Amino acid sequence: MKTSIVRPTQYRSGEITNQSRRGFSSYAKALIVSVFSGLMLTVASVSVQADPELPQYSGKARLGTQTCGGSTCHGAAKPWANSAVLQNEFVTWSTDDPHSGAYDALSSDRGKRIAKNLGIEDARQEEACLDCHTDNVPKELRSKNFDVADGVGCESCHGGAVEWLGLHVSGFGQREDYLNAGIYPTEDPKARAKLCLSCHLSDPRKSITHRIMGAGHPRLAFELDTFTANQPAHYRIDADYKQRKQQSSGVKVWAVGQAMAAQITVEALMDKNRNSAGIFPELFYFDCYACHHSMEEPRWQKRESVNIGPGVPRLNDSNLVMLRVLANAVDESMSARLLEQTRALHESSSKGQEATLRALADLSTTVDALVETFASTEFDVTAMWKIYDSLVAEGLKGEFIDLITAEQATMAIGSVLAAIEMTGADADLNGYNEALLKAYAAIDNSKTYTPAKYTAALQSLAAARQ
């Protein structure tokens, strides 16, 4: 369901365009219906397996996107009136969803340039690129209808259909039966975070490095709830959906996404295989703009949570900063511990590898616990407003001066406002859009970004609350 809160419609490192979603009044009607049916039906939803294997590595054979996209299956031109699901998922995916063009991107001008700079003849033949730009399963799992050129298709996210298609077509299966037959639980926040982050951040089995960035790959900026809202929706969360599947607020999706992104980053930094090449650690996990900015105007400023001086490269701690704000709403001592451990990690960078690994191990325990905490927390409207207020307050204290953190904070604020609107508790949040747009404008371009502009946007976000 769309809300009237603005979200960037496209998110490319340094290039963000915004568009206001459809107006509030048409939204409010839909909301009333769904809130009531939600109350009646949530008990029936099915909880899912704790830690399912990613579709790419689950060993289930692929039938191919075309198989899902038949005109009597998910390839209808328009949504069906009386079907549980929309039935036009294929059309939405193939015409509006960038995932259907992910393979073609490898032979675009940019794709070719990246390949050339890396000494790769054709990126479409390169495992390192295919792992994220298509459904790169072993050859023996590809049926004759499977086409690698389909890019990130249905089975990349929903799992190889070989075992669940029969059940599916028969119309007999319950949700549990599907999950047992290998369908991936995309509705579960943890499972979804694991899936999306495996391509939008990293996965130990895939290769994404500063070397690939240096060759011209766009910087990966990801926030689970915002990107969920931005992926053109090929599903509808209605009464029927709620009966079949668990549902989570956008704040929970954001929270779990942040905790798991922090977890992936911490694990990557502890992984010797990904950090032993040459004199530098893997710079992919550092704050890009700590190094990449003009020297004409010095921009270093002190931040409470970064107790290292100027001239030291900083890890990208944007997810950790968001986590701290979130933890504060659930458990203040956790938040304090996170601050202490983040500071220890930053400090360790000038104390050698052993100190760094120790700091990472401590942080890892806290972050793992937070993943579980957020996955089992329901945030009510009071908690959501508390998070909004802490986000703005931390920002005004100067915690978000780094562009990558400001970017995460802006998506977070958008996510929290949209989630509040979804609850129906506060009638009109349109007044926040102007301030939110100001925040998006401030982070729109890395060349013109200044902490002062972002602070002004935060002041407007604080004022909108009055």
Stretch 246-305 residues interacting with ligand HEC (CB under 6 A): 283-284, 286, 288, 290-292
Structure tokens at 16: 């963000």
Residues paired with 306 in a beta bridge: 303
Q: How far is the CB of 462 from ligand HEC (least distance, A)?
A: 29
Pick out residues in 60-79 that bind ligand HEC (CB under 6 A): 65, 68-69, 74
CA 298 to chain centre: 32
Closest contact distance (angstroms) between CB of 116 and ligand HEC is 10
CA distance 219 to 27: 34
CB nearer ligand HEC, residue 241 or residue 374: 241
Task: Please report, as residue ranges, which positions from 130 to 149 form the binding site for ligand HEC (by CB under 6 A).
Answer: 131-133
Q: Which is nearer to ligand HEC, 185 or 395 (CB)?
A: 185
**Options 161-169, 186-194, 247-255, 431-439: segment touching ligand HEC (CB under 6 A):** 186-194
Report strand pairing: 15-19 vs 7-12: antiparallel
* Residue 231 binding ligand HEC, by CB under 6 A: yes
93-101: which pairs have CB atoms within 8 A and are 24 or more residues apart?
Answer: 93/65, 93/153, 93/154, 93/232, 93/234, 94/69, 96/232, 97/231, 97/232, 97/234, 99/151, 99/152, 99/153, 99/156, 99/231, 100/150, 100/151, 100/152, 100/153, 101/151
Window of 215-223, 271-279, 303-311, 364-372 that interacts with ligand HEC by CB under 6 A: 215-223
Task: Round to whole Å and give the CA distance between 439 and 246.
Answer: 32
Please measure the distance between the N-terminal and C-terminal CA atoms of the chain and give it in whole angstroms: 28
Kindly tell me which of 212 and 396 has the beta carbon lying closer to ligand HEC.
212
Does residue 41 interact with ligand HEC by CB under 6 A? no
Q: Which residue in the set 37, 46, 79, 98 belongs to the binding site for ligand HEC (CB under 6 A)?
A: 98
Task: Give the nearest distance from C-beta 407 to ligand HEC in angstroms.
Answer: 11
Asked if residues 255 and 374 have their Cβ atoms less than 8 Å apart, the reply is yes
Residue choice 22, 47, 110, 426 for contact with ligand HEC (CB under 6 A): 110
Question: Which residue of 114, 367, 409, 420 would you call a contact of ligand HEC, by CB under 6 A?
Answer: 114
Report the residue number, 115 or 327, with the smaller CB distance to ligand HEC. Answer: 115
User: Is residue 5 within 8 Å of residue 421, measured between CB atoms?
Assistant: yes
Q: Does 181 bind ligand HEC (CB under 6 A)?
A: no
405 to 444, contacts with ligand HEC by CB under 6 A? none
C-alpha separations of 8 from 20, 315, 368, 373, 444 in Å: 9, 25, 30, 29, 10
